[in-house]
Amino acid sequence: MADLVVFDLDGTIADTRLDLAGAVNYMRGTMQLEPLQTERIVKMVGNGMSNLVRRAVADVEIDCEEALRRMKRYYADHLLDTTCLYPDVAQGLEELHSKGVRIALVSNKPASACQNILDGLKIGAFFDAVVGGDDLYPLKPEPDSLLALAEKFAVPAKNCWIVGDHYTDLEAGRRAGFRRVFVTYGFGEARDEKPDFTAGSFAEFMMIIRGF
C-alpha cells in the first residue's frame, strides 16, 4: 500500500456544494446582486476562494477584496450547514490510518476552514497534516505543497498518491511525481490530465489502493 496519500477536500472527501453556494449568494446579496444558481457556482470552484469570488462577481464592477471578506466571514459560520462526507470516506480513512499510511489534506480552501470541516465531520484525527490555500505554498496546480509533504514524511514520490476531483489536483500530482486518482463523483473536471486511476466512489478508490 502507499506510504502517503494526499486528499483534496471539496468534491473528494466531502460534498461542500450547498454551503459554498450559500456563502457566495450571501455575499452577492449583501452587495445588492441577484443570487446565482448552485450549479453555476459549483463550476467556479477549484482554484481557491479568491478566484471563486472573482468569478462570482464577474458580471459587475465591484470591490473583490470586500466581497471576499464578506464571503469568508459568512462561510466560517456555515461550513457544516449541509456539508457531509461522501459514502465510505470515514471507513476508508480509518483503514488507511490503521495500516500506518500517512494521510494529508491539501486544499485551496483556507486551512482553518479545512480543519474545522474535518473535525466537524469527525475525521480530523485521521490526518497527519492539513495544508490550506492560505499556507506558505502556492495553490494547486503548483506541486510545492505535495513535495513539502513528501519531504516532511520522508516518503519518495513514487510511494505517494494524490486523490482529487479536479485537474488542479491531477496536475499538481503529475508535477510532483505522485500516483494520481481522479474521483468522478465530485464536481471538478480532469480536463487534459490523464490520471493513473479513475474511481467512481471512495470504495472503488480503496479497492485500487489495496493492490499497492
Which residue out of 8, 10, 19, 144 is catalytically annotated?
8
Q: State residue 92 phi and psi, 5-degree precision.
A: -65, -45
Q: Rounded to an integer, what distance in angstroms lies between the CA atom of residue 24 and that of residue 53? A: 7
DSSP lists the bridge partners of residue 164 as 182
Instruction: Answer yes or no: 134 catalytic.
Output: no
Indicate the residue type of 96.
Answer: L
Cell representation of residue 203: 470504495
Cell representation of residue 35: 443570487
The Cβ of residue 65 has, within 10 Å, a number of other Cβ atoms equal to 10
Q: Rounded to an integer, what distance in angstroms lies between the CA atom of residue 30 and that of residue 27? A: 5
Helix (H, G, I), strand (E, B) or coil at 4: strand
> 59 — alpha (psi -120 to 50), left (phi > 0) or beta?
alpha
Element (H, E) at 130: strand 129-131
Residue with cell 445588492: 32
Tell me the catalytic residues. Answer: 8
